[in-house]
């Protein structure tokens, strides 16, 4: 039987623990309650001998999960209740690490939009399935955040500068590009998903995924990687923008315009965290990300970014820094050790 929580369905079927995100009208945005429910399910199934495999999917055609539910975060942050957001991010990051370290296969089906918090749920899983409609991205800099939920780790472990490019610009990846950069594993046409889910539920045999796999329609990144590596190899945001501005290619000219829109502070900190994630593990990356998100409401551009992009929709944010040459001291202040408030992977689900 399913636990019929309105926004998330949790049940066991056969030898499979099955979680379905059930907020299609909100593009399955991940709320705090949903994140806690998912963590509790995983905690229970970790040692449940009747569960051999976990399957995570979502209702609706438009999105697996378009991000975290930021309406509450905005309202609480506007009222200077910063602890709500800090608690949300602390628990969410713990969930992300549990997904990555889960001792049994986790199979995730990503249709439509998978962004932000959705990436944190899906892209650390062991078996990540995409289809024709999949659009995966980390667009956080556009709202004054950085690629978090372990996004800096996923972006940083790519060879060259493709991860830097994706993190700063928030570029959406189709199925082939997502597989190319390590955000997904397998392309299965959506018409075959129902049969595959039935087979997985009946057998808990992940080899069925490979049997259903097909080549994904060709993406763009593989053909752009040489230019991206050349243009994004600089150490600072200003130098990257100069490289783009000095290049006459259509790609460079389009990209330099995209760097003019997000928060300069967020992009500068994203550049630092993505590159730092080239060494170390996921937990290290999550700890760095939490240092930024802990401060994002009162010291960063998060509240203004949400106002401009989501609430008022005037798309004219007044960022704390008007230019890309953000002082290093300001970057360091956002990413400094939090002392007793540091994120750790321990803690209980509430």
Catalytic residues: 68, 117, 140, 148
Say how many C-beta atoms besides its own lie within 10 A of residue 126's C-beta: 17
Strand-strand pairing, 106-110 and 63-65? unpaired
- Residue of 209, 186, 189, 207 lying closest to 197 (CA atoms): 209
């Amino acid at each position: 039987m399913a636990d019929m929580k309105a926004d998330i369905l949790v049940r066991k079927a056969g030898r499979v623990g099955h979680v379905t995100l059930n907020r299609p009208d909100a593009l399955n945005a991940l709320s705090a309650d949903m994140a806690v429910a998912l963590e509790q399910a995983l905690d229970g199934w970790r040692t449940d001998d009747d569960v051999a495999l976990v399957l995570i999917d979502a209702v609706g055609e438009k999105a697996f999960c378009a991000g975290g539910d930021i309406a509450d975060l905005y309202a609480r942050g506007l009222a200077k209740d910063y602890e709500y957001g800090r608690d949300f991010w602390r628990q969410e990051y713990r969930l992300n690490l549990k997904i990555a370290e889960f001792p049994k296969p986790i199979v995730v089906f990503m249709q439509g939009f998978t962004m932000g918090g959705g990436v944190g749920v899906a892209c650390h899983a062991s078996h990540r399935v995409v289809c024709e409609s999949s659009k995966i991205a980390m667009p956080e800099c556009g709202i004054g955040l950085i690629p978090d939920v372990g996004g800096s780790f996923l972006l940083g472990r790519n060879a060259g500068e493709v991860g830097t490019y994706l993190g700063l610009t928030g570029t959406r990846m189709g199925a082939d590009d997502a597989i190319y950069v390590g955000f997904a594993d397998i392309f299965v046409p959506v018409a075959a998903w129902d049969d595959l889910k039935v087979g997985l539920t009946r057998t808990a045999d992940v080899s069925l995924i490979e049997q259903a796999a097909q080549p994904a329609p060709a993406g763009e990144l593989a053909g752009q990687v040489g230019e991206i590596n050349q243009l994004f190899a600089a150490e600072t945001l200003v130098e990257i923008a100069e490289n783009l501005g000095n290049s006459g290619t259509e790609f460079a000219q389009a990209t330099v315009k995209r760097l003019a829109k997000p928060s300069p502070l967020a992009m500068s900190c994203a550049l630092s965290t993505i590159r730092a994630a080239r060494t170390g593990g996921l937990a290290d990356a999550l700890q760095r990300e939490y240092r930024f998100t802990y401060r994002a409401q009162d010291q960063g551009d998060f509240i203004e970014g949400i106002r401009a992009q989501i609430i008022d929709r005037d798309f004219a944010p007044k960022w704390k820094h008007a230019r890309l040459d953000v002082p290093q001291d300001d970057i360091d202040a956002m990413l400094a050790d939090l002392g007793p408030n540091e994120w750790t992977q321990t803690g209980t689900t509430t």
